[in-house]
Amino acid sequence: MDLGLRDRVCLVTGSTSGIGLETARLLSAEGARVAICGRDAERVERARGDVHAAIGLVADLAEPGSPDELVAGVQSALGPVQCLVNNVGDAYEASFEELSDRQWEDMWQLNVMSYVRCIRAALPAMREAGGGTIVNVSSTAGKRPSTGMPNYSVTKAAVLSISRLVADLYAKDGIRCNAVAPGPTATAAWLAEGGLADQQARRTSRTREEVVRAVGAGRPLGRLAEPDEIASVIAFLCSDRASYVTGAAWSADGGTVPIIV
């Protein structure tokens, strides 16, 4: 199936691993001109070669001026951003009581404000061109908060709200904006040393293997998602095949959140 993405300039944030990397790879395979980014130059270059991305840029999107510089860099190298995938983010286990103001603020800057700033930077060219697509990666925790990840849950709920807001504001300009809400996914965020599986194991006195099995078993489909399964939903929402889809919050969670909207 041709997704209509050939030669489209696509920026994927947080794309050196996991869902972002798989999304960049799939968009590139569809013929898009993909820009990837991350905070570490070596990882960016390695991912760029793996994806066959058009360019790779180093950016810390938690810094207020960085999203503007990133979007300007893509435009200078490839042309105006036509498709923006906001994927960058952080997640960790913590109790509500132990989270400091600084932890709330740091996660807000990366998980929410980077999305706001990237969207704001990409909008003028999209409006001038008469259209564009934005996909924001949220989480099941944005629909049903995770008590073990309070600040993460609140930021991901904000991403859902931003997505609907932007969809409403800019539909008249031909700009579509949607959110994807993945469930637990077999990425480094969960499975790497020190990742969420290890964090849960330490807090619950279980082994990491027991945690991974339990988390998978907690989905109606009985397993964690694979990164490419989430990437496929993102690519569809970026594509012309989703030309009448905007303002939606697509669950890609194996049936985790038991609601019908």
Give the integer Cα–Cα distance in Å for 245 and 108. 27
Q: 92, 115, 152, 244: which one is catalytic? A: 152
Give the integer Cα–Cα distance in Å for 178 and 163. 6
Give the integer Cα–Cα distance in Å for 100 and 238. 37
Long-range contacts of 88-92 (CB under 8 A, 24+ apart): 88/13, 88/14, 88/20, 88/37, 88/61, 88/114, 89/14, 89/137, 89/155, 90/152, 91/139, 91/149, 91/152, 91/189, 91/196, 92/149, 92/152, 92/196, 92/199
**Is 115 a known active-site residue?**
no
Tell me whether residue 130 is exposed, middle or buried, using C-beta atoms within 10 angstroms of its C-beta: 0 to 12, 13 to 18, 19 or more. Answer: exposed
Helix intervals (H) in 184-259: 188-191, 196-204, 208-217, 227-238
Give the integer Cα–Cα distance in Å for 78 and 80. 7
Q: Which helix (H) or strand (E) holds 180?
A: strand 175-182
Question: Residue 12: beta bridge partners?
Answer: 36, 85
Tell me whether residue 34 is exposed, middle or buried, using C-beta atoms within 10 angstroms of its C-beta: 0 to 12, 13 to 18, 19 or more. Answer: buried
> Which positions are catalytic?
152
